[in-house]
């Protein structure tokens, strides 16, 4: 059954399609800004006014949705810019939905790019304050929904945030807005290039007191169960490549839509090797993403989305 392309296609079990992909987008303050991210060739930060230079193409390529990250120009102790109705994400989302009403806009809900210390919550004496942070995360999610976000995606990994976001959205008339939770998010070295892109590296310590230990898989099942109980509609595993077993276990245990985040480090090392001519980028990327789908992911968040769209078009 492998002798020719027709029969191989006939018996193929896993199909990677454009409809599976979500493209991450970085929105920064200022005007006229298109700022390449050095460690992520092909990825730039855009100010609200230059976004069409990127998104006209994204929409033309048929990519169904984006996830938006904000890079604010002010950071403080209380992450004020995260829930400011005039913040970069809030203004960006409103502008995007006006120009591309059909494009699905997901917003990343976190405080790390907005706090001066770079942690995902409020900090006192070097410790993360869980509950007061969760309140601010819920306010942030609400401000995104008010700006027109179609889905909110909390990525902080603090306890109880999904429930708090659900309650506040419901109380404010946004009961129709789904929550995609970063449910099993690991404390990973694969986020390195992203922290340059989002200027969100922690200024002291690391994220191991709130993100998961890479050695644990059963704990991922407990995290997913909790998030679903609190009202998550889509759950995510992040990163993807080193955690395909976690994706599979979640898929086998829970009957809910599952997303995998093909993170910045997984993008950068492919781009670097391809630039050196060491690998066949197209074959490598399609194999990686197909592997994520085979493992059980329904949705893949990936910086390769435009590349994949072009390759699928050619195929
Ligand atoms: C914010 C957040 C991070 C990523 C997505 N949301 C960084 C982190 O937790 O340090 C990583 C995305 C990527 O590496 O592509 N908390």
In tens, the pLDDT along 52-99 reads 999 999 999 999 999 999 999 999 999 999 999 999 999 999 999 999
Catalytic entry in 238, 251, 276, 293: 238
Domain count, the chain: 1
Mutate to test the pocket of ligand 1, among 200, 205, 266 (most ligand atoms within 8 A of CB): 200
Q: Please state the rounded mean pLDDT for residues 102-129.
A: 94
- Domain residues for the domain of 128 are 5-314
Q: Is 107 in the pocket of ligand 1 (CB under 6 A)?
A: no
CA 69 – ligand 1 centroid, Å: 9
CA–CA separation, 254 and 35 (whole Å): 40
* Residue 78 burial (10 A CB sphere; 0-12, 13-18, 19+): middle
| pLDDT for position 203 | 87
Q: Tell me: pLDDT of 117 over 80.
A: yes
The reported pTM is: 0.97
Q: Please state the rounded mean pLDDT for residues 155-159.
A: 94
For 196-219, how does the pLDDT look when each residue is reduced to its tens digit (9 = 90+)?
888 888 888 888 989 999 999 999
Atom of ligand 1 nearest to the CA of 108: 6
Task: Kindly give, in sequence order, each residue whose CB lies less than 8 Å from that of residue 181, ignoring residues fewer than 6 positions away.
Answer: 153, 154, 161, 162, 227, 232, 234, 235, 236
Q: Read off the CATH number of the domain in which 42 is found.
A: 3.20.20.70
Q: Is 194 in the pocket of ligand 1 (CB under 6 A)?
A: yes
The distance in angstroms from the start CA to the end CA of the chain is 21
- DSSP bridge partners of 46: 27, 34
Instruction: Specify the 3-state DSSP secondary structure of 235.
Output: strand
* Residue 173 burial (10 A CB sphere; 0-12, 13-18, 19+): exposed
For 224-248, how does the pLDDT look when each residue is reduced to its tens digit (9 = 90+)?
999 999 999 999 999 999 999 999 9
For 12-32, how does the pLDDT look when each residue is reduced to its tens digit (9 = 90+)?
999 999 999 999 999 999 999
208 in Cβ contact with 235 (< 8 Å): no
238 is catalytic: yes
| pLDDT for position 314 | 85
Q: Please state the rounded mean pLDDT for residues 285-304.
A: 98
Atom of ligand 1 nearest to the CA of 156: 16
CA–CA separation, 174 and 31 (whole Å): 31
CA–CA separation, 202 and 243 (whole Å): 23
| pLDDT for position 198 | 84
CA–CA separation, 233 and 237 (whole Å): 14
How many other β-carbons are positioned within 10 Å of the β-carbon of residue 216? 14
Mutate to test the pocket of ligand 1, among 23, 24, 37, 155 (most ligand atoms within 8 A of CB): 155
Q: Tell me: pLDDT of 315 over 80.
A: no
Tokens of 116: 């001066």
Tokens of 81: 């810019």
Q: Is 84 in the pocket of ligand 1 (CB under 6 A)?
A: no
Task: Kindly give, in sequence order, each residue whose CB lies less than 8 Å from that of residue 137, ignoring residues fewer than 6 positions away.
Answer: 109, 110, 111, 121, 154, 156, 158, 161, 164, 165
Q: Is 112 in the pocket of ligand 1 (CB under 6 A)?
A: yes
97 is catalytic: no
């Amino acid at each position: 059954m492998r002798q020719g392309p027709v029969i191989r296609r006939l018996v193929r079990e896993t199909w990677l399609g454009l409809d599976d992909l979500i493209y991450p987008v970085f929105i920064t303050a200022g005007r006229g800004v298109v700022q390449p991210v050095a460690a992520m060739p092909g990825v730039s930060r855009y100010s609200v006014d230059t976004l069409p230079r990127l998104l006209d193409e994204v929409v033309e390529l048929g990519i169904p949705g984006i996830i938006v990250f904000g890079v604010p120009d002010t950071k403080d102790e209380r992450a004020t810019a995260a829930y400011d109705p005039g913040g970069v994400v809030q203004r960006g989302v409103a502008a995007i939905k006006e120009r591309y009403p059909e494009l699905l806009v997901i917003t990343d809900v976190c405080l790390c790019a907005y706090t001066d210390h770079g942690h995902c919550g409020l900090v006192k004496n070097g410790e993360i304050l869980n509950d007061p942070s969760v309140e601010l995360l819920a306010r942030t999610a609400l401000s995104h929904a008010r700006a027109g976000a179609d889905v909110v995606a909390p990525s902080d990994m603090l306890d109880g945030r999904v429930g708090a976001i659900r309650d506040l959205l419901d109380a404010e008339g946004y009961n129709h807005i789904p929550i995609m939770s970063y449910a099993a998010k690991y404390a990973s070295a694969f986020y390195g290039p992203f922290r340059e892109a989002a200027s969100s590296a922690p200024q002291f310590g690391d994220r191991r007191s709130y993100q998961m230990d890479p050695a644990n898989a059963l704990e991922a099942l407990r995290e997913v169960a909790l998030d679903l109980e609190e009202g998550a509609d889509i759950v995510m595993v992040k990163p993807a490549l080193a955690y395909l077993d976690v994706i599979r276990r979640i898929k086998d245990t829970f009957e809910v839509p599952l997303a995998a985040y093909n993170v910045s480090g997984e993008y950068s090392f492919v781009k670097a090797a391809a630039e050196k001519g060491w690998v066949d980028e197209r074959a490598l990327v399609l194999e990686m993403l197909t592997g994520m789908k085979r493992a059980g992911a329904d949705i893949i968040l990936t910086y390769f989305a435009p590349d994949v769209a072009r390759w699928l078009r050619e195929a």
